[in-house]
Amino acid sequence: MAKTQVTIVGAGPSGLMLCQMLHRHGVDAVVLERQTREHVGARIRAGLLEQGTVELLNEAGVGERMMREGLVHDGFELAFDGRRHRIDLAGLAGKHVLVYGQTEIQRDLADAAGARVIWEAKDVAILDSEGSSARISYVKDGVKHEIRSEFIVGCDGYHGASRASVPKDRIVHHERIYPFGWLGILADVPPVSEELVYANHRRGFALCSMRSRTRSRYYVQCPLDDKLESWSDERFWDELRSRLPPELAGKVVVGPSIEKSIAPLRSFVAEPMRFGRLFLVGDAAHIVPPTGAKGLNLAAADVRVLYQGLVEYFRSRSTTLLDEYSMRALARVWKATRFSWWFTTLMHKFSDEAFAYRLQLAELGYLAESRAASQAVAENYVGLPFDC
């Protein structure tokens, strides 16, 4: 049976960031990933990094390309009722965010991880996470293997095997499903604006984002049961423009989509995030709707708390930080869950009810007029302090 110090399940951003931080601090880890490297690398996901995430990737030694190619954003815009209001992140919160795609981070991290990842590890099963050591099995090229380690970390996303292995009476799930999805497209056209624009419109929410100065990422809120086939590029561009203020709509450069997908929106938190020798990290433990751009950043925050605990344990056998992991991670998770829920509720169309729409406009108007209200948004958007 193979032995290592930490077995990580899942080679998304959570698993690879953790593996890299452990490696930098002399802790041995193996990552078991069900898919191929190409499959995981091709998924189009988030694109906005908080400063804390940027710092973690730099500490992990994988930040060089990110610092060169990432775009610094000092603010973003809210568009509503024919108005535009800029949230000055730098002025209100003293920080900025960085636009750098998750696909790029995934590539940088996978390059660094090298042979520490076992790609196409099928049928991962947690055999023991409570005894004097942890045991896990997987099948590679038709051959079954077993690994013994001190800890297992589930970084295997919402549908992974780790959380599913926890007995139902030891875990609490909190969930809210939103009654709409986001239809997103990626296109090699220059972004409509230098900064991101979040639009509240009677027809539904729209977001203008980007991956670079020549690659745009746009989203429109759509019904959950919409089929991709019913969204031609032309229909998408028309719908996007109809939801933006006229002066912006007129500037949208259209072009063929290179990716198009519909994603549901959900808030989900599993508590606690530790079960004996098993820890949960990132999407395996919590999901936020993308409106606040918090998913990837929360995963990075979990990794920061957990790697410090693991490093301390392997240096001194002290479990103090490990014992605090779930409590410290969840404190931040719930605050980001609240912000993502609030921002989603403020910006989307939930019904045809005029009362609900007028309340949204009143709140957006207040945001535009009150420095205090704008500052609260800015502080959350750039990322709360790690020990909040």
Using CB under 6 A as the criterion, which residues of the chain lie in contact with ligand APR when the complex forms?
A: 9-15, 32-35, 40, 45-46, 102, 121, 124, 155-157, 160-161, 282-284, 295-296, 299
Q: Smallest gap, in angstroms, from Cβ of residue 101 to ligand PHB? A: 8
Q: How far apart are CA 383 and CA 21, in angstroms?
A: 21
108 binds, among ligand PHB, ligand APR, none (CB under 5 to 8 A by kind): none
Binding mask 191-210 for ligand PHB (x = CB under 6 A): -----x------------x-
Q: What angle do CA 217, 187, 90 make, to 5 degrees?
A: 30
Read off the DSSP letter of residue 383. Answer: -
* Marked catalytic residue, from 198, 218, 219, 357: 198
Contact 184, 276 (CB under 8 A): no
Contact 120, 33 (CB under 8 A): yes
198 catalytic per annotation: yes
> Which residue is catalytic, options 201, 286, 294, 349?
294
Catalytic, 290? Answer yes
Active site residue 178: no
Contact predicate 297/303, CB 8 Å: no
149, 6 Cβ separation under 8 angstroms: yes
Can 381 be counted among the known catalytic residues?
yes
Q: How far is the CB of 172 from ligand PHB (least distance, A)?
A: 27
Beta bridge partners of 122: 139
Task: Name which of residues 254 to 313 contact ligand PHB (CB under 6 A).
Answer: 290-291, 293
Q: What is the phi-psi region of residue 290: left when phi exceeds 0, alpha when psi lies from -120 to 50, beta otherwise?
A: alpha
| Interacting span for ligand PHB (CB under 6 A) from 2-10, 43-51, 171-179, 357-365 | 43-51
Among 12, 13, 15, 47, binds ligand PHB (CB under 6 A): 47
Q: Which of 23, 73, 286, 349 is catalytic?
A: 73
Beta strand extents in 188-256 (DSSP E only): 197-200, 206-210, 216-222
Does residue 357 carry a catalytic annotation? no
Report the alpha-carbon distance of residue 319 to residue 16 in Å, rounded.
23
**Which residues of this chain interact with ligand PHB, rule CB under 6 A?**
46-48, 196, 209, 217, 290-291, 293
Active site residues: 73, 198, 290, 294, 381
